A and B are shown apart, each in its own frame.
Chain A
Amino acid sequence: MRSPTMKHSLPCCALLVCSLTLTGCGRPGESVAITETREISTHAPAPNIDITSATRFYDDARKEAQERPDFRNLLTWTVPEGWKESGQPDPMGMRLVDLRFGTGGEGECYITLMPGSGGGLEANVNRWRAQMGQQPYTAEEIEKLPTKPFFNRDASFVAFDGDFKGFGAETAQPGYRMLGLIHSAEQATIFVKLTGPKALVEQNAAAFDAFCQSIKPNLPNQ
């Protein structure tokens, strides 16, 4: 007859034996064949190729910041009559120039410059449409956007009506109109955006065109 001690030690012994048996399991060998693959989505961002270690590890970010020119000095423009520069700093500090027009300064127009594609034309146009409470455009609709000459090239032009809710605003402002021009080059993308009450914007549409045409690169030799 087995003693109670022996009987109860059986489960523990069994677990111990199992554990010792499996101790060496699990570590892959010195050479392993790769067996897993995956298809990368068509929505995934385009790959960045041949990027230096300094850039990959953000080591050049500080140096670049020190060397970064003041973007305001890269461009020149002519402020339309009746428009004036805003006295308030813009919320994100990204505007090269921030103009106001209208009796109470209800209309605003500003230029921003972003490196590279700046997120892409489709994302930016649809972001603006969302600000106007409009449904996003499809890729086909984006392709069909009208263009206007800008910087000796074509820039995509947009004009939307709707209820405007700008960055950081609590509520939307009804009856607004937005005009915008987006020009994307390999190095940077420039945005010119005008918003205001619809009637005021329509009055200033020609001034907007003139303002856009006045924006030029600030070349020292010219």
Chain B
Amino acid sequence: MTSPSSNFPAKLFAFLTSFALATTTLALLLLLTFLGTLEQAEYGLVASQARYFESLFVDRIDIGACWRALALNAYFDIGDIVLPIYVLPGGYTLMAVLFVNLLLGGIVRIRKSPKTIGVIISHFAILFMIAAGAVSYHFASEGSLELVEGRTGDEFRSFHERVIEIEKITTGKDEPRRALVIADGQYRDLRAGDKRVFTHESLPFDLVLTNWKQHAQPKRAADDRSDAVDGYYIQEISTLDESGAALPDEQLASACIAIARDKKSGEEQKGILWEFAAAPWTVSVGGEKFLITLDHRTYKLPFAIRLDKTEQEKHPGTERARRFTSWVTKIADGREEKRVVTMNEPVRSAGYAVFQQTFDDGTRSGSGVKRSGFQIVENPSDHWPLISCIIVAEGLLLHFLMMLARFIKVEPWKFSLGLILAFNAAFALAMWKLL
């Protein structure tokens, strides 16, 4: 008789490979998709994605928002009901569980035979797709770079990530400029009354952040306002538009109050940081000046891009844009290379893809100067989902053809592999003709 303790690994293995775990995980993923999609109507894509699909656990569920998204409030209004619970696992946790379940159950534990080879291939491909999601989540970055004709840039701004940066003003002309970076995950929970101190040995002051708001605008304050900073206060603005739909994340302008506290004297300087501010907040401590900004995160490119010329092509007889094209020079290690970026035809280099995103002939900015906006994407797993989809298809095709071969009593391997070869050849020919 085996003791319970010696049975534990076997029990754990049985649990991790069980169909019950797979079914529960898939059911919870379905629930997350349902809730996340409904909440998206009021919270926006980015917020819903973060809460439901990228989190370890869902911190709360806005039942009222889901109810309204289903238009059930037309029959019965339940008001604002929010469940502040950490019970529902988030997409990140569920995908990790599914990965383990599929790896152990669908690859390790599964019976290995010619009958299951197609299924094993498909399982492997699904694991590859989950891995692609994890790599993309952890290592991918995307943002935009805007250039006017004749200008060069080698940095791009993230679409959704915000940071607070502290830059010490350097006096030397050739001295490199550096900034300390505080990620938004470290301060975005600081509502009114909450505060957090950020320190760095190179700074003569500590930075205290408080009163963060997701969408706000500084307003001129009346004399009697207690929360006024330098004559302004932060007015919170609704994140919904006039029709009640969530504003896109890119249109939200977060703000917070920052206090620079001198490490020696304890003297405090107070300022408002606002995402849409025209200039940074300047702090002077001990004869040195520091610039503090709340802005989108900046990423460095391994090469620079100079916009030589940009043009837009319009549909004949209309003002509707048909195509934007930019003639750029890629500069890396002192070498220049002429490239052309146009819509749906990005330039790829050093793991980055540069897409033509926007164009302004000078009317939008009012400057009369032409400019191009590029979307920059860095994703090490860029093509992994496509590859895994192809492998899934091949695996399932093999599985079904083997079953068919056994049913019609022909040699399974020759029949299946012959047909798969024919399918692939036809597919390749079609793609070659199409592209």
Contacts and interface: CB of A to CB of B under 8 A. Distances in A.
Interface of A: 7-8, 10-12, 14-16, 18-20, 22-23, 25-34, 36-41, 43-44, 47-51, 53-59, 91-92, 94, 119, 122-127, 129-130, 135-136, 167-168
A32 B189 CA distance: 14
B248 interface: no
A58 to B, nearest CB: 6
Nearest to B11: A10
A50 B282 contact: yes
Nearest to B28: A15
B149 A123 contact: yes
B157 to A, nearest CB: 11
Interface residues of B, number: 77
Contacts of A50: 282, 289
A70 to B, nearest CB: 18
Contact of A36 (B152, B180, B189): B180
Given A8-B20, A47-B280, A57-B218, A22 B56 contact: yes
B232 A41 contact: no
B79 interface: no
Given A11-B18, A123-B148, A53 B232 contact: yes
A43 B152 contact: yes
A43 B199 contact: no
Given A19-B86, A56-B274, A40 B179 contact: yes
A36 B361 CA distance: 38
A41 B220 contact: no
Contact of A44 (B97, B177, B370): B177
Contacts of A27: 189
Given A47-B167, A51-B279, A122-B150, A167 B86 contact: no
B148 A127 contact: yes
Nearest to A92: B368
A40 B167 contact: yes
Given A40-B179, A136-B308, A34 B200 contact: yes
Interface string B56-98: 1100000000000000000000000000001111000100010
A160 to B, nearest CB: 13
Given A11-B15, A43-B155, A92 B362 contact: yes
A56 B279 contact: yes
A129 B21 CA distance: 66
A167 B368 contact: yes
A56 B151 CA distance: 25
Interface stretch (B46-54, B298-306, B379-387, B395-403): B298-306
A51 B315 CA distance: 44
23 contacts: A7-B20, A11-B18, A18-B93, A19-B89, A20-B86, A30-B197, A32-B197, A34-B181, A34-B182, A37-B179, A37-B180, A39-B176, A43-B153, A43-B304, A47-B291, A51-B279, A51-B282, A123-B369, A129-B150, A130-B370, A136-B306, A167-B361, A167-B362
